Structure 1
Amino acid sequence: MSTDIKENKYLIGEYNNEIFIKFVGNATMKNSKTLEEVFNNIFTGEKKEIVLDFEECNYMDSTMLGLIAKTAIRLKKEWNQFLYEINSSNMVKTSLKSTGVYNLMKHLDDIKQEVELKELENKDFDDKSEKAKHILEAHKTLMGLSDENKKIFKNVVEMLEKDLDK
C-alpha cells in the first residue's frame, strides 16, 4: 500500500560554492533546530551560496519563516549575499510573500545541476527554554519585516517573553 505522506526532513548537498538544502514535508518549529544548526555551521566556514529547494515542501510555519528570514538577513550582513529559493509551490510562495520573507531572497527558475543530497539527522531542543528562545527570535525577526507582521505576531512574542521571564 503506497502513501503520499512524506516524512519531514531536510536533504543537503554541495556543488562548487553552493549548498543546496531541500525541504521535504512540513518545515516547522519541531524540525527547525536541525536547520538552524546547519545554517550556523555554514557561517563558520568559507563563504558559500545557499539555495533552498521547496519543491517537496508542503507547509512552513512562522518559526521556520522567521529562521529563513534571520538567515537571509545574516547572509546579506556578513557575506553580502542573498539566500536563493527554487521550486516553491503556491502555498510556500504565499507564506514567504505574506510575511515579507520572499523579499529577502533571490528567486531562481531552475537549476540544471544534479546535486547529490544526503539526509540530515534531526536535532531536538535541549529544553523548553532553548525552544522558547528559538521561537521568540524567529518571531521577532518576522515582526521586523513589516507592520502587518508586528500585529500578527505581537501576542506570540509577548507570551514567549512572559514564559521566559518566569
Structure 2
Amino acid sequence: MKEQNEGAIFYAMRDSHYVIKFIGEIRLTLCGALDRHLERVLSSGECQHVLVDLTESDFLDSTTLGLIAKIAIRAKEQKLADPVLVSVNADVTRTLLNMGFDRIFVILDSLPETVTELKQVPMVQESLEATQQRIINAHKVLMSLNETNYQAFCNLVSTLEEK
C-alpha cells in the first residue's frame, strides 16, 4: 500500500504580492487552517496580487479545491488582478481544468522566480461542526463554477446540510 504523502501549506507576502504554496497531498485535515489563513489574508487589504503554487502538489481533495477557488472569487470581488495558479503535475492540472479553474485563474505550467521567504500556515484544531460547514462552503464554491461540478457535489452538500 502506498504511503500517504503528508501535505503542508506555506505562504509569503511581500509588497502586496501573496504567494501560497501547497506541497504533497492536501486534504481536509489542513482545510481549517487554510480557510482561516485565507480569510485573514484576503480581508487584510494588503494583497493585490495572488500566486498559487501547486508545483509540488500530488493531490488536492475537493474541499481544498473549493478553498483555492475561493481565492479567485474573492480576488474578483475585490477587483484585484487575476490570480495566477501554477501546476506542473498533469493529474492536478487535469482536475483543475475539469473543475473550471481556467475560468477564474491564469493557469501556468512553470513557476515564476521569486525571492520571497515562505512561512508555514499554522495548524488549527476545530470542531466537527465547523469542519462540516467548511466542507459545505468549499463544495458550494466548486458547484458555482460549472454545471458538471454542481451535479457532482449537489448530493454531498444536501446530505451534509441535513446533518
Shared fold (TM-score, shorter chain, > 0.5): yes
1:8 maps to 7
Percentage of matched positions with identical amino acids: 26
8 Å contact from structure 1 (residues 23, 54) kept in 2: yes
Q: 1:116 to 1:142 in 2, by over 3 A?
A: same
Structure 1: gaps spanning 5 or more residues: none
Letter aligned with residue 82 of structure 2: F
Task: Describe the SS at the equivalent of 1:22.
Answer: strand
Residues in 2 aligned to 1:69 and 1:14: alpha-carbon distance in whole angstroms? 19
Letter aligned with residue 31 of structure 1: L
8 Å contact from structure 1 (residues 93, 102) kept in 2: no
Matched residues, number: 159
Residues in 1 aligned to 2:107 and 2:82: alpha-carbon distance in whole angstroms? 10
Cα deviation code 1:60-110 (max 9, x no counterpart): 011111111122111101233322112431111111111112321012443
Report deviation, 1:148: 1.0
Structure 2: gaps spanning 5 or more residues: none
Displacement over 4 Å in runs of 4+: none
1:120 maps to 121
1:19 aligns to 2:18 (yes or no) = yes
- TM-score scaled by length of structure 2: 0.88
Letter aligned with residue 100 of structure 2: G
Residues in 1 aligned to 2:147 and 2:41: alpha-carbon distance in whole angstroms? 31
Report deviation, 1:161: 0.9
2:145 maps to 145
Tell which structure's C-alpha radius of gyration is larger.
Answer: 1
Question: Does 57-66 or 82-91 show the bigger shift?
Answer: 82-91
- TM-score scaled by length of structure 1: 0.87
Q: 1:88 to 1:33 in 2, by over 3 A?
A: farther
Aligned-residue RMSD, C-alpha = 1.8
1:133 maps to 133
Cα deviation code 1:125-166 (max 9, x no counterpart): 2x1111111111111111111111121111101111101xxx
Letter aligned with residue 120 of structure 1: V
1:161 maps to 161
8 Å contact from structure 2 (residues 6, 26) kept in 1: no
8 Å contact from structure 2 (residues 96, 102) kept in 1: yes
